[in-house]
Structure 1
Amino acid sequence: MTTKTLIFGHRGYPFKFPENSLKGFQYAINHGIDGLEFDVHLTKDNIPVIMHDEKINRTTDGKGLINSYTLQELQQFHMRDGETIPTLKDLLSLAAGKPVHLNLEFKTNKIHYPKIEQIVLDLVKQYDLVYPVIYSSFNLDSLKVAYRIDPSQQYCLLSDHVIKDAKALIIKEHLAGLHLSHYQPLANVDERIWTVDDPTDQKKLLADHVAGIITDNFEQAVRVQHNAVAM
């Protein structure tokens, strides 16, 4: 069980930088963030890239599904700060050797990319990360596939509703914890709560000793945590 609540940057640091951008990830790492949460899809040529949506429309100057483009074709599109869509390799290179926890979400609840779990797990093993990656997904099937490939990793189910019989589910599906949009009082379960930007809510979760708070504004959350400790 986690003792100190870790603060995770939701899609990096979208309060200051484009979401899921290398600039946001780099700033957060440089400023001592506990962890980074981010989303992974596959391109047409099976390269893992980091973006929340299945389409590039909302966060770049392009249009269409990520998996309708090769990585090279994707590089012609840019985020609002001119940065191209980062690959998982890019972020792993930034994080290697740094004391930062990575929460990698398999974004497979709408499109279950063939072999994404194998491709991602194989890639992550090539990097010297300080902490084991925390893998999460709304798609339980994705976590089951990943567990069959490598049962030694941490797999956490994402959910935006109350999970009934949570302990039984965790045991049955070999889960390391739950990533929820709300707090459920579950003893001895690692809960990471998303996306918590209100300081009052953050204080409550810190008092509940959740494993992690996932937030768009990690610097604010860190200040709240410091003030709570000082009291």
Structure 2
Amino acid sequence: MTIEAIAHRGYSTKYPENTLSAYQASIDLGFSHIEIDVHLSKDGIPVIMHDKTVDRTTDGSGLIIDHTLNELQSLKMKGGERMPTLDETLELAKDQCKVAIELKQSNDMYEGLEKKVYELIVEKEMIDAVYVNSFNHEAIRRMRSIAPELELGIIKAKATPDLFPLMKEIGASSLAMELPYYSDTFADKCKNEGIQLIVWPVDTIEACTMMIKRQNVLCTVNELEQFKAYYYEKED
């Protein structure tokens, strides 16, 4: 069974988030997408972690940008795992699932991030197997300038139709928003505009009940087994 939903940071409630084991576990469970968060190391290598610091999820401290790749991969995460690179993650996902790549380009702190990410996508021959999005809409504008063929999206917790002109301008085809701000009216507007609406997090039975009625909306999920059991059983 393929579960048409996004595994947020992989199977992040059972395995260390944003690790190869978390991604493989979500793929094995049947999820169609994995969501990954990309930063740059001090030596310019795209790496996978949610936070801009290593403090919360490793035994180290400090900003990712202040560490080389070797230094980052010497840090230990829960279960003894290490921080993966974008290269390793794309290699794992290739021919198994689609990859939602979030650029963690806070305040444009990573010079050249967009270009490096695009080059890896091309190198892996995965143009049709990824989409790239970000809270930083200027980062998506930059990505479009170097990647005319890539599927792009934007993220805004409290999204509104005011975003539609920008999306049309930069050719963004998906819009991710936080579930508390979701409405059926807004979902209909996105559908009419040809925009793939994505909502996060769909992690309760109540949320599943609501989203079952909107099969055109893509759900981002942390509680993977609950979503699989409840969402798909109820759908049947």
Give the C-alpha shift of residue 152 in structure 1: 1.0
Whether 1:7 aligns to 2:5 is yes
Aligned partner of 2:140 in structure 1 is: 143
Greater relative CO, 1 or 2 (CA 8 Å, sep 6+): 1
Whether 1:121 aligns to 2:92 is no
2:224 corresponds to which of 218, 226, 229:
218
Unaligned runs of 5+ in 2: none
TM-score, structure 1 normalization? 0.92
The percent of aligned pairs where both chains have the same amino acid is 31
Tell me how far apart the structure 1 counterparts of residues 150 and 199 of structure 2 sit (CA, whole Å): 20
Tell me the secondary structure at the aligned position of residue 35 of structure 1: strand
Q: Say which is worse superposed, 175-184 or 135-144, in terms of deviation.
A: 175-184
Give the C-alpha shift of residue 168 in structure 1: 2.5
Letter in 2 for 1:96: K
Post-superposition Cα deviations, 1:55-103, rounded to whole Å, max 9, x if no partner, equal: 00000010000010100111221111110111111111111222x1110
Unaligned runs of 5+ in 1: none
Structure 2 counterparts to residues 53-72 of structure 1, below 5 A = 53-72=51-70
Asked if structure 2 preserves the Cα contact closer than 8 Å seen for 1:37 and 1:105, the reply is: yes
Asked if structure 2 preserves the Cα contact closer than 8 Å seen for 1:7 and 1:222, the reply is: no
What is the aligned residue count? 226
Post-superposition Cα deviations, 1:148-194, rounded to whole Å, max 9, x if no partner, equal: 00111111110111324343232123111101113232223201111
Post-superposition Cα deviations, 1:22-56, rounded to whole Å, max 9, x if no partner, equal: 11111112222111011000000000100000000
Tell me how far apart the structure 2 counterparts of residues 102 and 117 of structure 1 sit (CA, whole Å): 16
Tell me the secondary structure at the aligned position of residue 165 of structure 1: helix
TM-score, structure 2 normalization? 0.90
Aligned partner of 1:132 in structure 2 is: 129
Asked if structure 2 preserves the Cα contact closer than 8 Å seen for 1:134 and 1:153, the reply is: yes
Asked if structure 2 preserves the Cα contact closer than 8 Å seen for 1:62 and 1:77, the reply is: yes
Letter in 2 for 1:79: M
Tell me how far apart the structure 2 counterparts of residues 73 and 138 of structure 1 sit (CA, whole Å): 28
Whether 1:204 aligns to 2:202 is no
Asked if structure 2 preserves the Cα contact closer than 8 Å seen for 1:96 and 1:130, the reply is: no
Whether 1:179 aligns to 2:176 is yes
Aligned-pair Cα RMSD in Å: 1.8
More helix by share: 2
1:35 corresponds to which of 33, 36, 60:
33
Tell me how far apart the structure 1 counterparts of residues 84 and 151 of structure 2 sit (CA, whole Å): 24
Q: Say which is worse superposed, 187-196 or 81-90, in terms of deviation.
A: 187-196
